Amino acid sequence: MSGQDNALDIAVQQLDQVAERINLDPSIHRRLRRPARSYIVSVPIRLDNREVEVFEGYRVHHNTSRGPAKGGIRYHPDVTLAETTALAMWMTWKCAVVNIPYGGAKGGVACNTKVLSRGELQRLTRRYTSELINVFGPQTDIPAPDVYTNPQIMSWIMDTYSVSVGYAEPGVVTGKPIAVGGSLGRNEATSRGCIFTIYSLLRRLNRKVEDQTVAVQGYGNVGYHAAQIIHDDGAKVIAATDSKGGVFNPKGLDPRALARYKEENGSVVDYPGADSITNEELLEVDCSILIPAAMENQITQRNADRIKADIIAEGANGPTTPAADEVLFERGKYHLPDILANAGGVTVSYFEWVQGLERYFWTEEEVNSKLKGIMDRAFDEVWEMAQKEKVTMRMASYIVAVRRVTEAMLLRGLHP
């Protein structure tokens, strides 16, 4: 079984567990186990050498009872329909746990961006968008960046859609550059939201940020900005990795210098003044806070008993398996699950969408303040649920989210 297929099994297993816990209506449970709709599209493009290559693309809507479909688009060789479906389901819960009016979606194209030129990427993006032109829309489905996609790719999606409808429509996509209707604070939003949940937990535990040591797996956009923010607030970042490996220095790393080194060399590997470390070894580093911000299924039953960090804050989607969840819970770890910890990105995407629809834009201070309010409230609701039910923070998050989605489904009824 592939890791992508396993992601869907995990997503459904998590739903089944919460359904049993809350005695979920069986008819609602059956509906939530399946996506509302799935699209598979061929994406033919002409390469720079004039040959035509055909890629496969996906877009999945899991549930839209609470609002239009919302979710990122990833470009990765291992993208599958199963993985996309799992990620769409997680987006449903993520939007519900922070109580923003969206349903869950996800999309992707199976491709390797590292071998595609800028022109090929643009043609791929525009063709993928054209194949889904009747699916995307500011009231129906609003994409955003994900793995190996970025603000430039979102701009091409916006432009392709806008050309189709005949006017500029910034509300069709989020994560855009500021110049074409993006929101201030969006680029760092996932990281900032993750850090807000960590700080909420530290306050509950009466601990100081300055006393924390941090390890970050996945030094991309989310991992870097999380490291930079918590470093600036006084914590010590002691380890970081990317897909090629990583570095460790118990005296601390400079997140900005490390990011510059990665930009110049393509990886954090061999960063001066630090020891080499693998992605697997980083997870077991002796630190107080671990931020897995890479891919799915990194913390498993195989290594969960060797995690030394007291706090695990999931910057990535699905980095921990259900079996590992139980091990960490039994060991007394404080585990901030993905659908809560990395919901800052979709929250500021919601802000960007609102600003685009109104054509009225906020200051960065307004964006960050509103984000903090939503993340703090969501943390408090999940924390209280976890204490009341004596369950993991993930189970508490799911209880909050699934109950909200269920309420919307029951109120709207079944048509026809």
DSSP string covering 31-85, please?
Answer: HHTS-SEEEEEEEEEE-TTS-EEEEEEEEEEEE-TTSSEEEEEEE-TT--HHHHH
Shared domain check, 266 and 327: yes
Shared domain check, 227 and 328: yes
Shared domain check, 246 and 134: no
Report the DSSP pairing between strands 52-63 and 37-46.
Answer: antiparallel
Instruction: Taking residues 329-343, report their average pLDDT.
Output: 94
Residue at 280 is within a domain: yes
- In one-letter notation, the amino acid at residue 21 is R
Shared domain check, 160 and 248: no
Is residue 108 a contact partner of residue 132, using CB atoms and an 8 Å limit?
no
Residue 263 pLDDT > 60: yes
Is 106 an annotated catalytic residue? yes
Residue 1 pLDDT > 50: no
Residue at 202 is within a domain: yes
- In one-letter notation, the amino acid at residue 64 is T
Tell me what the pLDDT averaged over the chain comes to. 95
Shared domain check, 223 and 77: no
The residue from 106, 236, 262, 333 that is catalytic is: 106
The residue out of 170, 198, 229 marking a domain boundary is 170
Read off the pLDDT band of 6 (50, 70, 90).
confident
Shared domain check, 305 and 214: yes
DSSP string covering 80-117, please?
Answer: -HHHHHHHHHHHHHHHHHTT-S-EEEEEEE---GGGS-
Our count of domains for the chain comes to 2
Residue 147 pLDDT > 90: no
Residue 123 pLDDT > 50: yes
Give pLDDT tens digits for 364-382: 999 999 999 999 999 999 9
Instruction: Taking residues 247-257, report their average pLDDT.
Output: 96
Give pLDDT tens digits for 64-101: 999 999 999 999 999 999 999 999 999 999 999 999 99
Residue at 263 is within a domain: yes
Q: What three-state secondary structure class fits 392?
A: coil
- For residue 13, the enclosing domain spans 3-170
Shared domain check, 102 and 10: yes
The residue out of 275, 306, 341 marking a domain boundary is 341
Residue at 9 is within a domain: yes
Residue 2 pLDDT > 60: no
Shared domain check, 208 and 153: no
Shared domain check, 226 and 124: no
Residue at 403 is within a domain: no
Give pLDDT tens digits for 216-241: 999 998 999 999 999 999 999 999 99
CATH assignment at residue 84: 3.40.50.10860
Shared domain check, 295 and 324: yes
Residue at 180 is within a domain: no
Shared domain check, 194 and 153: no
Is residue 322 a contact partner of residue 297, using CB atoms and an 8 Å limit?
no
Residue at 368 is within a domain: no
Read off the pLDDT band of 409 (50, 70, 90).
very high
Residue at 156 is within a domain: yes
Tokens representing residue 345 in the block: 């990105």
Compute the distance between CA of residue 225 and CA of residue 255 in angstroms, rounded to an integer. Answer: 8
CATH assignment at residue 200: 3.40.50.720
The gap between the terminal CA atoms of the chain, to the nearest Å, is 38
The residue out of 341, 372, 388 marking a domain boundary is 341
pLDDT computed for residue 4 by the predictor: 52
Reading phi first (left if > 0) and then psi (alpha if -120 to 50, else beta), residue 67 is in left
Give percent of the chain with pLDDT exceeding 70: 99
Shared domain check, 84 and 55: yes
